Amino acid sequence: MPYVEERLYSTVCPRCGAKMAEERGRVMRCPTCGFGAHRDNAPMTWRRRGTGG
């Protein structure tokens, strides 16, 4: 059985796909659409969308 690694990105905005910037601590914010999330929680947003990034 082949192994497929699915990576959920924490630096790519799950709303618009732009590169997010780290503000303070581990909070990431998208300069394009304003989406913000803790770096460890951003991949969960990708999962809820049903895509792998």
pLDDT tens by residue, 6-20: 666 678 888 898 998
What pLDDT was estimated at residue 31?
94
pLDDT exceeds 80 at position 21 = yes
Domain locations in the chain?
8-53
pLDDT tens by residue, 29-52: 999 999 998 888 877 776 666 654
What pLDDT was estimated at residue 10?
73
Compute the distance between CA of residue 27 and CA of residue 51 in angstroms, rounded to an integer. 22
- Do the strands 27-29 and 36-38 form a parallel or antiparallel pair, or are they unpaired? antiparallel
Strands, sheet with 27-29, edge to edge from the N-terminal-most edge strand: 21-22, 27-29, 36-38
pTM of the model: 0.63
What pLDDT was estimated at residue 53?
47
**Token pair 């910037």 is at which residue?**
21
